[in-house]
Amino acid sequence: DDERMEWWRDAKFGMFIHWGAYSIIGGERGEQIAGGGAEWAMDKLDYTIEEYEKFPAMFNPQLFDADKWVSMAKDAGMKYIVLTSKHHDGFALWDSKVSDYDIMDASPFKRDIVKELAEACRKQDIKFGLYHSIVDWHHPQAQGNLFPNYNAGQKDQSVVNPEFPKYYENYLKPQVKELLTNYGDVDIVWFDGDWIADYTTEMGKDMYSFIREIQPNTIINNRVDKGRNGMEGMDREGNFAGDFGTPEQEIPATGIDSDWEACMTMNGSWGYKPSDENWKSSEDLIEKLVDIVSKGGNFLLNIGPDGYGRFPAESIKRLKEIGEWTDANAEA
């Protein structure tokens, strides 16, 4: 639907925000450092559900300032923000009535982060989207053969939990409905975790039309469908599920027919990870932006705020430098 996609195609540049209880952990457990993305701390650092629950219980980001975050995105030339409403760890950053594993009931913070960011975006004329994980390591009905306790030592993602359809109907969908009902326009829903064996194409189709019914103009990424990582399936007949493809940490070749958005990190992690000092330079990030836009894509550049609610200094520096460049070079 061209009309629905119009603002998104014009936008070109957005901010991804990976933030949650894992932002306290920073990818470290004693001497152990998680490889890759620190938002996977629960899995990679072998926390049981019970052990991990202490992090939401500590999550109290007193320096969180939604207006400031949105200004930093805007000053960098970004036109939209996509926040992790729930990552794989299952912890909800909004006031969920479906679950107690949320910012109001499981943490001392007791401020609805989704609400504050949605309102700040609206105020500053920035589009607002949510990343939402299908995978849920905290919910017993969503944990493959790990039921009833997530235990990283026994992971096998090919084993299906027979209860998963109940999680899908009674938890995943109702939570998505809350997000699409209580926060005004949600301009993008960015699903992830479609790879697990439990999730089916039928669920993907159902989820897509479910969202369409609540908010007809929401733009939904391809990972709402099963097995649509990266650009997979974008050429699939009757491209029902996704409005855009999501190549990750790479820029695809030219000549792609469908809409796409490359998402990238500034270092090697989506979630806050102070041990990762492998920062891309501002020049490199600007080059990537130019390359992506010239090939007809959008660029979703990630920030991993810390457990207090601050953007890392290295990220702020890059946002500023990118902003100086976009000020000098962009038409609008």
- Residues 184, 227, 230, 252: which binds ligand JFZ (CB under 6 A)? 230
248 binds ligand JFZ (CB under 6 A): yes
Q: Using CB under 6 A, which of the segments 32-40, 64-72, 75-83, 144-152 binds ligand JFZ?
A: 32-40
Q: Which stretch binds ligand JFZ (CB under 6 A): 35-43, 62-70, 74-82, 103-111?
A: 35-43
For residue 61, the Cα-to-chain-centroid distance in whole angstroms is 19
Which residue's Cβ has the minimum distance to ligand JFZ?
229
Distances, alpha carbon 247 to alpha carbons 21, 104, 196, 258, 270, in Å: 26, 34, 18, 12, 15
Contacts of 56 (CB under 8 A, 6+ apart): 21, 91, 101, 103, 106, 107
What residue spans of the chain are helical by DSSP H?
2-11, 22-25, 41-44, 49-52, 66-75, 113-123, 164-167, 173-181, 201-214, 282-294, 313-329
Q: What stretch of H or E contains 84?
A: strand 80-86
Contact mark string toward ligand JFZ, 177..216, x via CB under 6 A = ---------------x------------------------
Which residue in 215, 229, 239, 258 binds ligand JFZ (CB under 6 A)? 229
| Min separation Cβ 262 and ligand JFZ, Å | 11
CA contacts within 13 A on the Cβ side of 154: 12
Closer residue to ligand JFZ, CB minimum distance, 39 or 178: 39
- 77 is a site residue for ligand JFZ (CB under 6 A): no
Q: Are 132 and 191 in contact (CB under 8 A)?
A: yes
3-class secondary-structure state, position 114: helix
- Percentages (nearest 5) of helix, strand, coil residues in the chain: 35, 15, 50
Q: Least distance to ligand JFZ from the beta carbon of 132, Å?
A: 10
Site string for ligand JFZ, 267-286 (x = CB under 6 A): ---x----------------
- Residue 37, interface with ligand JFZ (CB under 6 A)? yes
Residues within window 39-68 making contact with ligand JFZ, judged by CB under 6 A: 39-40
Cβ closest to ligand JFZ, residue 27 vs residue 37: 37
Residues contributing to the site for ligand JFZ (CB under 6 A): 37, 39-40, 192, 229-230, 248, 263, 270
